[in-house]
């Protein structure tokens, strides 16, 4: 087990000596413990040896803890700092965290909080070492995962993910996709017409991979391309002609149209040979559909839907087909419906509903319902949208046990679209359902938050003589300590650390006034294992020492 060097810096020798003795005798961790009574003395040690953890008072004369921190991190960037802070040091703490301060402990929290902070720093250091050891392995794994990530991005584009399309150039660069996001693209869709009955899921996946290799053999030298296997035995290719400088010819802006035309002719002319090769080598019949004209990336989703529609009706019901989109596509009776985009919107709506994002949900919901308004009732598309939304609402209502949504919302209508008079009425009804769900979940969340605050207060009052550090309280109520601090501040308007300090002070004042307990006994009763820390805390908080406070109230009572 690695040895860690711990340095304790404070301008009060009694604090330094007490903590040095305490940690030197601590057998849980392998520690070399050093003490310094000033920042200057700490800097001398800094030049002599590597430091792993430094506990320092944030407010010292000549050089404060923040200045010391900057010098330490310049020399030993991985050194973890723990700041001991008093009653009014929060502005310093905020700056310290920006400079790699691992933690801070209110002196009011006592020695147990310091112990936990050191434990956290050691664990943090170990975690850093583990991360470094894993970096090369992670890099290797990322390279292995790159093809899968590329395919996931291409699927998102095809399914109408507007975020994927909006950040295309950036994502192509990150994932080394061999295509240009600023240029249009040719799309070719293949359908595996049939499989041998004995083929397993693995066999089918291997076959799709083999088909992509065959296509690459025919096309790769002349074009840039990327492929992705889709649902329903489909494989999709994205193709762009190589730039003039790549093919060795002079760049002529006027030949751009010819370049795309030649590229489309080359691809289309190769499809029959690809078909034949797959039939002979892989023993699989394949159909292809493509558009001879390039399309912008923003239309990729719609074009994919058109291709799929062509392969599922009319001539597309045959086998070993070579279809061209412009000449063969059946005429739609209305604007084509993008099922992929609807699927993405439904996934987004579900996520927004579960996460309580009402404004985002309302925006996405209205986009979807306005899309449905474009189609006549007899098209069936409105029914498809409606009955895709219903399971989402039912799942949310049942999972969260929401129950009654109010007298104005008849949930029996939820599974009967015909009970609504118009698409506008449908839109209004489902929006009312979603609003009621959001209201119920918000009320439940607020109740849960106030329950958490009550648990926090109860634990602090019952354990004031023990560990009331933020980490321990977080463990008790089941939340991360940093999140817990933010949650408490949001609900009560008060810092949790401040509440702990105020509670300790109030309890100490009560014991000083109403009992004859010794000062050291009162110190222990409010969670201080070190009496000097208690004196310092009390003086900072009340402006006088504990004994002065007791004497003052003794005179008042007499």
> Which residue, among 315, 304, 308, 423, has the nearest Cα to 369 in the 3D structure?
423
Three-state SS at 223: strand
Enter the tokens of residue 199: 């083929």
Distance of alpha carbon 60 from alpha carbon 37, whole angstroms: 10
Q: Is the dihedral of CA 227, 230, 234, 240 positive or negative?
A: negative
Greatest Cα-to-Cα distance within the chain, rounded to the nearest angstrom: 109
Contact 476, 120 (CB under 8 A): no
Q: What is the pLDDT of residue 330?
A: 45
Contact 347, 364 (CB under 8 A): no
> Which residue, among 38, 110, 96, 50, has the nearest Cα to 75 in the 3D structure?
50
Q: What is the pLDDT of residue 442?
A: 81
Please state which CATH class domain 4-131 belongs to. alpha beta
Q: Is 390 exposed, middle or buried (0-12, 13-18, 19+ CB in 10 A)?
A: middle
Q: What is the pLDDT of residue 329?
A: 44
Q: What is the pLDDT of residue 94?
A: 57
> Which residue, among 211, 338, 199, 378, has the nearest Cα to 279 in the 3D structure?
211
DSSP 336: P
Q: What is the pLDDT of residue 302?
A: 86
Q: Where are the domains of the chain?
A: 4-131, 161-328, 339-446, 463-557
User: DSSP letters of 41-91?
Assistant: HHHHHHHHS--SEEEEES--SSS-HHHHHHHHHHH-TT-EEEEEE-TT-HH
Residue 452 CB partners (closer than 8 Å, separation 6+): 477, 479, 484, 487
Distance of alpha carbon 497 from alpha carbon 499, whole angstroms: 5
Please state which CATH class domain 161-328 belongs to. alpha beta
Distance of CA 302 to the CA centre of its chain: 30
Determine how β-strand 186-192 pairs with β-strand 234-241. antiparallel
Distance of CA 423 to the CA centre of its chain: 36
Taking the alpha carbons at both ends of the chain, their separation in whole angstroms is 61
269, containing H or E segment: helix 256-277
Three-state SS at 105: strand
Q: Is 197 exposed, middle or buried (0-12, 13-18, 19+ CB in 10 A)?
A: exposed
Q: In a structure prediction context, what are the per-residue pLDDT tens digits for the chain, which is 558 residues long?
A: 578 899 999 888 988 998 898 888 877 778 899 999 988 899 988 888 888 899 988 878 778 777 888 888 888 888 888 888 765 555 555 555 555 556 778 777 777 888 888 988 888 888 887 887 777 787 787 788 888 899 999 998 988 777 777 789 999 998 999 999 999 999 999 999 999 889 898 999 899 999 999 999 999 888 999 999 998 889 999 999 987 655 554 445 555 778 899 999 999 999 999 999 999 999 999 999 999 999 999 889 889 988 988 888 777 788 899 998 764 444 444 455 667 778 778 888 888 888 888 898 998 899 888 888 888 877 788 888 889 898 888 887 777 655 555 555 677 788 888 888 888 888 998 898 888 888 887 887 788 888 999 999 999 999 999 888 888 998 998 888 888 888 899 899 999 989 999 999 999 999 999 999 999 999 999 988 788 889 889 999 899 999 999 988 876 665
Three-state SS at 13: helix
Distance of alpha carbon 482 from alpha carbon 445, whole angstroms: 19
DSSP 56: E
Contact 544, 552 (CB under 8 A): yes
> Which residue, among 125, 106, 151, has the nearest Cα to 6 in the 3D structure?
125
Give the strand order in the sheet containing 223-230.
223-230, 234-241, 186-192, 286-290, 322-324
Contact 344, 161 (CB under 8 A): yes
Contact 375, 334 (CB under 8 A): yes
If you search the block for the tokens 């607020």, which residue do you land on?
Answer: 446
Give the architecture (CATH level 2) of 463-557: Orthogonal Bundle (1.10)
What's the predicted TM-score (pTM) here?
A: 0.50
Torsion angle, CA of 248/254/255/257, rounded to 10 degrees? 140
Q: What is the pLDDT of residue 295?
A: 93
Helix spans in 493-558 (H): 496-514, 519-525, 531-542, 546-557
């Amino acid at each position: 087990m690695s040895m860690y060097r711990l340095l304790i810096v404070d301008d009060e020798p009694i604090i330094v000596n007490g903590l040095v003795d305490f940690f030197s005798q601590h057998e849980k961790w392998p520690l070399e413990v050093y003490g310094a009574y000033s920042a200057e003395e700490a800097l001398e040690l800094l030049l002599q040896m590597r430091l792993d953890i430094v506990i320092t008072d944030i407010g010292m004369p000549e050089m404060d803890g923040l200045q010391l921190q900057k010098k330490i991190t310049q020399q030993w960037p991985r050194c973890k700092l723990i700041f001991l802070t008093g009653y009014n040091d929060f502005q310093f703490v905020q700056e310290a965290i920006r400079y790699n301060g691992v933690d801070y402990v209110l002196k009011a929290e006592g020695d147990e909080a310091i112990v936990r902070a050191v434990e956290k720093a050691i664990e943090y250091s170990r975690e850093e070492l583990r991360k470094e050891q894993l970096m090369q392995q992670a890099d290797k794994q990322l390279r292995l995962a790159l093809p899968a990530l590329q395919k996931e991005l291409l699927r998102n584009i095809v399914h109408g993910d507007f975020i994927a399309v909006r950040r295309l150039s950036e994502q192509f660069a990150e994932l080394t996709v061999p295509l240009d996001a600023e240029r249009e693209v040719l799309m070719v869709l293949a359908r595996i017409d049939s499989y041998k009955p004995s083929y397993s899921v693995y066999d089918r996946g291997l076959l799709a991979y083999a088909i992509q290799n065959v296509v690459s053999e025919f096309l790769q030298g002349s074009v840039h391309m990327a492929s992705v296997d889709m649902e329903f035995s489909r494989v999709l290719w994205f193709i762009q002609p190589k730039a003039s400088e790549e093919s060795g010819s002079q760049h002529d802006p006027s030949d751009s149209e010819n370049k795309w035309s030649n590229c489309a002719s080359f691809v289309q002319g190769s499809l029959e040979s690809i078909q034949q090769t797959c039939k002979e080598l892989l023993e699989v019949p394949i159909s292809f559909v493509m558009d001879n004209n390039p399309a912008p990336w923003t239309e990729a989703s719609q074009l994919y839907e058109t291709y799929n529609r062509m392969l599922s009706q009319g001539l597309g019901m045959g086998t070993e087909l070579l279809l061209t989109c412009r000449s063969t596509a059946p005429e739609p009776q209305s604007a084509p419906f993008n099922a992929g985009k609807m699927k993405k919107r439904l996934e987004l709506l579900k996520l927004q509903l579960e996460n309580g994002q009402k404004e985002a949900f309302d925006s996405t919901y209205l986009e979807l319902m306005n899309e449905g308004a474009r189609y006549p009732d007899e098209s069936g598309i409105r029914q498809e949208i409606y009955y895709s939304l219903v399971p989402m609402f039912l799942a949310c209502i049942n999972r969260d046990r929401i129950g009654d949504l109010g007298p104005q919302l008849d949930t029996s209508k939820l599974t009967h679209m015909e009970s609504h008079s118009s698409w506008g009425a449908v839109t209004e009804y489902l929006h009312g359902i979603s609003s009621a769900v959001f209201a119920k979940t918000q009320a439940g969340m607020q109740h849960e938050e106030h329950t958490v605050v009550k648990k926090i207060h109860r634990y602090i009052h019952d354990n004031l003589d023990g560990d009331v550090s933020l980490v321990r309280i977080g463990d008790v109520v089941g939340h991360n300590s940093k999140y817990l601090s933010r949650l408490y501040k949001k609900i009560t308007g008060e810092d949790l650390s401040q509440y702990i300090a105020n509670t300790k002070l109030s309890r100490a004042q009560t014991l000083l006034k109403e009992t004859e307990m010794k000062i050291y006994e009162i110190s222990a009763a409010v969670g201080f294992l070190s009496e000097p820390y208690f004196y310092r805390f009390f003086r900072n908080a009340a402006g006088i020492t504990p004994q002065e406070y007791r004497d003052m109230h003794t005179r008042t009572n007499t």
